[in-house]
Amino acid sequence: MFRPSENAYELDSPTIMPKASGFLWNDKMMIHVNCRGYVVAQFMQPEPAKYSHAPNLEAKTFMQPEQPYYAHHPGRFVYVKDEEKGEIFSAPYEPVRVLPDHYRFYLGKDYISWTVIKNDVQIDMRLRLPKEGALELWRIKVKNLSNKTRKLSVYPYFTVGYMSWMNQSGEYNQTLQAIICSSITPYQKYTDYDKVKHYRDKTFLLAEQEPFAWEVNQETFEGEGGITSPTALEADALSKGDARYETPVSALQYKLTMKPEEEREFRFIFGPANNEEEITHVRQQYFGQKQDNEADGFMDAEQDFARYIAEGKGCLHIKTPDHDFDHFINQWLPRQMYYHGITNRLSTDPQTRNYLQDNMGMSYIKPKIARDAFLTALSQQKENGAMPDGVILHKDAELKYINQVPHTDHCVWLPICLHAYLDETNDYAILNERVPFAGANNDATVLEHMNLAMRWLINDRDERGLNYINQGDWCDPMNMVGYKGKGVSGWLTTASAYAFRIWADICEIVDQQDMATTFRLEAKKSNETINKYLWDGNWYARGITDDNVVFGISKDVEGRIFLNSQGWALLSGAANEEQKNKLLQAVTDQLESPYGVEMLGPPFTAMREDVGRVTQKHPGSAENGAVYNHAAIFYIYALYEVGETDNAYRLLRKMIPGPDIDDVVQRGQLPVFIPNYYRGAYKEIPRTAGRSSHLFNTGTVSWVYRCLIDGLFGVKGVTEGLQIKPQLPTDWDKASIVREFRGATLHIEVIRDNNVGQTEVYLNEERVKDNIIRDIEKETTYHIQVKIP
């Protein structure tokens, strides 16, 4: 049904998991492709835009969870007609929906492809992107598997959709061998014209080989049969029609007479352009002739893209008793982290918390990018220490959508994320870098910026010492707890205490003892406040509303317990041993499901006006009681920090679909990325529990990697070198780790030994002091043996 290979994942049915999908990206675009051929693609100009549209006017919004697919959803398809029998099927499955005799969907790290066989005709489709530019590079192969000559018509069909109510059209350009569809982005103000005229409002399908015929008018193509059985395919040839203020489509026809075992390949480029000159340049660049035996631009671009994706290699390669876990961690997790750090989620104003956490992950892949990101974020800090709701990454960008709503948590992520970077690189020199303030003429060192951020958290509190929530903290839709200016966030107070602890540790390392003492005291005071006002007897409350109502407590019928309040109380040190045991049991009893640990429970079923729109989300979806993986991984990281090894791994493993087939099918997602959530409400709505959101934008992945480094495998950097402190689950007897660290390569063999009472580390058969490998030299390989009890 599905299986991993060395660098890919394979699915052999288009119906068992109809939303199974993968994604590709480069610096300018992202494309999300499902196993049946449906596609969501975006490119930057500089804001996200589309070149393959829905059949009606679309609102501009972020990617939707659990993306609904429908017959006319944008896609990339190939219709195939047997000219002698008139039989039609389509690859990869949509839109004709004829079950193939053989089907294989491949998700590679740098490609997505299908092999479909029906009636002895094989169709291979393969998609790659170039390293640069918003273009789709397609190879489509046709092979006659029968022992007789076949007459076929093959119709590549690429959705263009409803481009604009203001102006849209399309026609075939004989010179370029391309269908070119044109539109004008609607605007009202004359001042917008100078911006709109530079938009890439053309969509083109460029063919390497001249087609026999084409159709550019979607309505003509479909006729009375619709997209599942287009009338146009009944004719000998497509009508070579155009679209004049009509919905365009890119459909080509190739008539083939194929001998037994003959194979033909066609190459296409699909994407946006500003003008025909740009399309001409694309044709010359990718299909221009080169001398014999030399790759052309198309092949060069494919190879460049493979190398580009390969750059997203993590610093960890593992071998454990759980081979499916190994495959995900080695192949797919660093890939997803790399996507976040390279593209910034295709946003010109990423939320500050997302930007910092995504680049925390880049500390393990490309630390220079992480370093630059921290400096960029701090350059947009206000002089009073406040961080913006979003980080502007383009000169023409502005804060949009959720970034126009004030949140109070952004400062807390600075020391937490910077800490991971410092552990990995030992680059404490960054603290002396001078960085400007937003809208001011003066600057300060990173150290001073960080102190200001911590003091902002201290000052943004009520008389009890609890942090204000305003219109949200980490939980965006918790927007009505504090909009009157009085409501407070229990989670943020706890997270601030943890941030103070982390920053105090960093200050101590760089001989800022007074600062270290100050922030340790603030952490202590915060923890005391948390216990005074938010401990409910068995777990911690989530917050206190504008009207002084404590919520997330035992007397609440819905939203009785929130996960974040528990995990971060472990991280901050607020919970003593008795409290720790109580809250752990409460989480297990009330929030754990077969698909992970839920964000809150029971889910809300109606609006609670003193909490906000989170309570209006469907029970078990997103922040309203889903297995919201970002919250879950915070909790798992906290479990590793307090030594709850088996508990931590059990929940970590649930983040990855499988290995049980029924589990993968219920989630509906192949284990090639971690989604932002799986449906929750397992006790209330078990039928839908576990379903993947299929959204791969999530701050989860950086924290998963940090859990592996700091927790599970315990190969964390410290100022002296690499500290080795594995926390393997008790049913693992061994693990092998290759750790890339500060320019060196360390081969680490961990073995469980009943003869040792504590972890012992050996280098060159000599016991290592404090289990820290010191004096690590670049371009050197080390072999280390670790014994654990």
Q: Are residues 392 and 493 both part of a single domain?
A: no
Question: How many CA atoms lie less than 13 Å away from 282 in the CB half-sphere?
Answer: 28
The average pLDDT across 414-440 equals 97
Give the span between the Cα atoms of 705 and 316, in whole angstroms: 9
Structure confidence at residue 61 (pLDDT): 67
Structure confidence at residue 401 (pLDDT): 87
DSSP letter string, 422-478: HHHH--GGGGG-EEEPTT-S-EEEHHHHHHHHHHHHHHSB-TTSPBB-TT-SSSTT-
Q: Determine phi and psi for 713, rounding to 5 degrees.
A: -100, -15
Coil, strand, or helix at residue 637? helix
For residue 164, give both structure tokens.
């604009």
pLDDT bracket for residue 291 (50, 70, 90): low
pLDDT bracket for residue 62 (50, 70, 90): low
The average pLDDT across 431-445 equals 96
Domain-located, residue 670: no
Pick from 533, 552, 575: which residue ends a domain?
575
Question: Beta partners for 173?
Answer: 178
Structure confidence at residue 292 (pLDDT): 64
Domain-located, residue 185: yes
Q: Are residues 351 and 416 both part of a single domain?
A: yes
Name, in order, each residue with C-beta under 8 angstroms of 152's C-beta and a sequence gap of 6 or more. 80, 81, 82, 83, 121, 142, 144, 255, 256, 258
For residue 451, give both structure tokens.
């102190």
Provide the 8-state DSSP code for 289.
-
Q: What is the pLDDT of residues 778-787, one digit of tens each?
A: 999 999 999 9
Read off the CATH number of the domain in which 93 is found: 2.70.98.40
Q: Are residues 449 and 470 both part of a single domain?
A: no
Structure confidence at residue 539 (pLDDT): 98
The average pLDDT across 201-205 equals 97
- Structure pTM? 0.96
Domain-located, residue 340: no
Pick from 457, 478, 511: which residue ends a domain?
457
| Nearest residue to 445 via CA among 430, 428, 456, 457 | 430
Domain-located, residue 156: yes
**Residue, of 403 and 127, whose pLDDT is higher:** 127
Q: Are residues 140 and 180 both part of a single domain?
A: yes
Name, in order, each residue with C-beta under 8 angstroms of 138's C-beta and a sequence gap of 6 or more. 76, 125, 126, 127, 156, 267, 268, 269, 270
The average pLDDT across 316-324 equals 97
Domain-located, residue 337: no
Q: Are residues 468 and 491 both part of a single domain?
A: yes
Domain-located, residue 263: yes
Q: Are residues 233 and 355 both part of a single domain?
A: no
Q: What is the pLDDT of residues 143-161, one digit of tens each?
A: 999 999 999 999 999 999 9
Q: Are residues 220 and 243 both part of a single domain?
A: yes
Determine the residue type at 748.
I
Structure confidence at residue 138 (pLDDT): 98
The average pLDDT across 542-562 equals 98
| Distance, C-alpha 771 to centroid of its chain | 35
Q: What is the pLDDT of residues 45-58, one digit of tens each?
A: 999 999 999 998 77
Determine the residue type at 699.
G
Specify the range with the lowest mean pLDDT, choosing from 145-154, 290-299, 673-682. 290-299
Q: What is the pLDDT of residues 475-485, one digit of tens each?
A: 999 999 999 99
Structure confidence at residue 64 (pLDDT): 82
Computed over its alpha carbons, how large is the radius of gyration of the chain? 28
Write down the mean pLDDT value for the chain.
96
Q: Are residues 74 and 212 both part of a single domain?
A: yes
Read off the CATH number of the domain in which 750 is found: 2.60.420.10
Structure confidence at residue 172 (pLDDT): 98
Give the rounded percent of residues in the chain with a pLDDT score beyond 70. 99
The average pLDDT across 671-687 equals 97
The answer to whether the CB of 121 falls within 8 A of the CB of 145 is yes
Structure confidence at residue 293 (pLDDT): 66
The answer to whether the CB of 279 falls within 8 A of the CB of 250 is no
Give the span between the Cα atoms of 760 and 757, in whole angstroms: 9
Structure confidence at residue 294 (pLDDT): 74
213-217 vs 316-319, strand pairing mode: unpaired
Q: Give me the active site residues, please.
A: 476
Domain-located, residue 254: yes
Give the span between the Cα atoms of 491 and 559, in whole angstroms: 14
Q: Are residues 482 and 540 both part of a single domain?
A: yes
Domain-located, residue 621: no
Tell the residue number behind the tokens 């309040």, with chain if given. 565
Number of domains the chain is built from = 4
Q: Are residues 407 and 269 both part of a single domain?
A: no
| Nearest residue to 681 via CA among 583, 601, 764 | 601
Structure confidence at residue 2 (pLDDT): 75
3-state SS string for 151-197: EEEEEEEEECCCCCCCCEEEEEECCCCEEEEEECCCCCCHHHHHHHC
The average pLDDT across 408-419 equals 98
Give the rounded percent of residues in the chain with a pLDDT score beyond 90. 94
Pick from 521, 548, 575: which residue ends a domain?
575
State which residues form the domain around 44: 2-61+69-287+298-308
For residue 416, give both structure tokens.
């937490």
* Model confidence at 714: pLDDT above 90: yes
Q: What is the pLDDT of residues 459-478, one digit of tens each?
A: 999 999 999 999 999 999 99
Structure confidence at residue 715 (pLDDT): 98
Q: What is the pLDDT of residues 102-143, one digit of tens each?
A: 999 999 999 999 999 999 999 999 999 999 999 999 999 999
Q: Are residues 146 and 24 both part of a single domain?
A: yes
Q: Are residues 132 and 213 both part of a single domain?
A: yes
